[in-house]
């Protein structure tokens, strides 16, 4: 069950989202995406290059409106369907599930978009080589959100 959610009311109150971005591939809630334009249509796609990962990023948060699903983990936004994507607001606190993160993570780590995983996931940033990310998530604490999760603060790497 992949998921990212705002930890408090201020995040929801001030959120910026796009409900009309068309998914370019199958997406799940919580996936990291880039918002763009293709032939006059707004699109949501997973980051494919380092430049994508270093730019402005969004996360998918669709309402599960298919009652025939038995399990939330079955929910997929199919390619060609509308994905509701939310911008990462700087300095906001978020909760993320552990299945969105590749590798071993500890308190204090910075997370960035994982281009190699190419699945809309996050990875631990390497301070020696990872520079100039507009969106990075600082791990504040390990939690039980979604079984294994993290409380993170949206920041950047200059």
Give the CATH number, domain containing residue 65: 2.40.300
Do residues 139 and 124 touch, judged by C-beta distance below 8 A?
no
- Retrieve residue 37's tokens: 């334009």
Residue 11 has pLDDT above 80, yes or no: no
Instruction: Work out the percent of the chain whose per-residue pLDDT is above 70.
Output: 94
pLDDT of residue 15: 83
| pLDDT class of 10 with cuts at 50, 70, 90 | confident
Helix/strand/coil percent split, the chain, to 5:
10, 40, 45
Read off the pLDDT of residues 23-41 as tens digits, 9 standing for 90 and up: 999 999 999 999 999 999 9
Domain that holds residue 22: 4-157
Q: 106-110, 122-126, 146-150: which has the minimum mean pLDDT? A: 146-150
Whether the pLDDT of residue 8 is over 90: the answer is: no
Between CA 81 and CA 84 the distance in angstroms is 10
pLDDT at position 1, please?
A: 66
Q: Is the pLDDT of residue 117 over 70?
A: yes
Residue 50 exposed, middle or buried by CB count within 10 Å (0-12, 13-18, 19+):
middle
- Whether 16 shows a pLDDT value over 80: the answer reads yes
Domains held by the chain: number? 1
The residue-averaged pLDDT of 38-59 equals 94
């Amino acid at each position: 069950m992949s998921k990212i959610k705002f930890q408090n009311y201020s995040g929801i109150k001030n959120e910026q989202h796009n409900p009309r971005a068309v998914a370019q591939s199958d997406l799940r809630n919580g996936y990291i995406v880039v918002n763009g334009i293709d032939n006059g249509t707004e699109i949501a796609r997973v980051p494919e290059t380092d430049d994508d990962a270093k730019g402005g990023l969004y996360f998918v948060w669709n309402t599960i409106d298919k009652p025939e699903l038995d399990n939330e983990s079955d929910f997929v936004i199919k390619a060609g369907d509308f994905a509701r994507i939310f911008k990462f607001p700087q300095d906001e606190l978020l909760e993320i599930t552990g299945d969105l993160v590749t590798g071993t993570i500890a308190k204090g780590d910075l997370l960035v978009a994982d281009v190699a995983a190419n699945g809309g996931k996050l990875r631990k940033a390497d301070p020696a080589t990872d520079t100039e990310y507009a969106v990075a998530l600082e791990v504040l604490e390990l939690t039980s959100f979604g079984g294994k999760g993290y409380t993170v603060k949206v920041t950047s790497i200059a």
